[in-house]
Chain A
Amino acid sequence: MNTGIPLEYFLILASVMFFVGIYGFLTRRNLITILMSVELVLNSVNINFLAFNKYLFPDQFQGQFFGLIIIAVAAAEAAVAIAIIINIYRHFTTINVEDVDQMKF
């Protein structure tokens, strides 16, 4: 199907997306955009799993299964994190991470 594309291209794409996500995670202040950066990181890992599945064991499913599990975990994580964010907003009326400093001393 895609015999023309080397495996390295997929790996480089995934690592660039991973570090864009890391950069967003470190520099944004809004909790929701921090969560979106985490989703970017999870997706780049998913691309890696699928690429290795396609290039090493094209007749088996291990990589695709891991991708499916990662999508499920990401959905659960987003639900719980958004519940926490709404609670933080109720308590502090802001979701700026620098203003939420009650556990910092």
Chain B
Amino acid sequence: MTFLFYLLAAVAILSALMVVFSRSPINSVIFLIICFLSIAGHYILLNAQFLAVVHIIVYTGAIMVLFLFVIMLLNLNTSNEPHKSQLTRITAVITGGLLLLVLIAATKDAVLIQAKNPADYNIGLVKQIGQTLFKQFLLPFEISSVLFISAMVGAVMLGKKDSKKN
């Protein structure tokens, strides 16, 4: 199990770095898909099987296809995107790196939390998640559907051609 964790973590971090450093947006999308698949593996390690499947369906199935589609539509598959200046890059490394250092130092000195075994290993499956979702978390669940409707209406409104102007 530990070996699996190290493998998945290495794949996730390397592909995340490749997303940021590769020049062409198409390569970025492909590496992001690899990164998301390894994150789904982490979810299974963390006993959240249902969430892993949802993650694969939503991210690699829907969002990444949308990204690829837009890249093809806008004809961006050229690899000559200029990066920002050296100063911006150094500033970004310092900004990210310092806070990362603080976080890692904080987790090193933290109190060790021992992993507890759940009473039931089927805890992350559909049945239990659904029962909790429709009993304990019913209100936020319904509010998220309102969020989806507003996002859908907003996307259609923004994507629509303005007929008055033309």
Instruction: Give me the interface of A with B, judged by CB distance under 8 Å.
Output: 1-13, 15-24, 26-30, 32-33, 35-37, 39-40, 43, 46-47, 50-51, 53-56, 58-59, 61, 64-65, 67-69, 71-80, 82-87, 89, 95-96
- Tell me the smallest distance from the CB of A33 to a CB of chain B, in Å: 5
- Our count of residue pairs bridging A and B at CB distance below 8 angstroms stands at 233
Docked-complex contact B154 and A80, CB < 8 angstroms = yes
Query: In the complex, what distance in Å separates the CA atom of A59 from the CA atom of B140?
Result: 20
- Could you show 13 A-B contacts with beta carbons less than 8 Å apart? A1-B1, A1-B45, A1-B47, A17-B13, A27-B88, A28-B20, A30-B25, A32-B25, A64-B129, A76-B148, A80-B155, A80-B158, A83-B156
A59 x B123 contact (CB < 8 A): yes
**9 tightest A-B CB contacts, nearest first:** A76-B151, A24-B20, A58-B118, A26-B92, A83-B158, A19-B96, A83-B155, A50-B46, A61-B132
A23 touches B117 (CB 8 A): no
Main secondary structure of the interface of A (DSSP, over half): helix
CA distance A12 to B9 in the complex (A): 10
User: Is the beta-carbon distance between B117 and A1 smaller than 8 angstroms?
Assistant: yes
CA distance A26 to B112 in the complex (A): 34
A64 engages B51 (CB within 8 Å): yes
Question: Are the CB atoms of B46 and A2 closer together than 8 Å?
Answer: yes
Given contacts A27-B88, A30-B76, A72-B148, contact A40 B133 (CB under 8 A): no
- Inter-chain contacts of A13 with B (CB < 8 A): 9, 12-13, 42
Q: Flag whether B83 is at the interface (Cβ < 8 A).
A: yes
Chain B residues with Cβ below 8 Å from A96 are 81
A24→B19 contact, CB < 8 A: yes
A36 touches B28 (CB 8 A): yes
Contact A2 B45 (CB under 8 A): yes
In the docked arrangement, what's the CA distance between A87 and B10, Å? Answer: 37
What is the CA–CA distance of A50 and B62 in the complex, to the nearest angstrom? 22
Which of the listed residues B12, B58, B97, B128 has the most CB atoms from chain A within 10 Å of its own CB?
A: B12
Report chain B residues within 8 Å CB of A86. Answer: 70, 73-74, 158-159
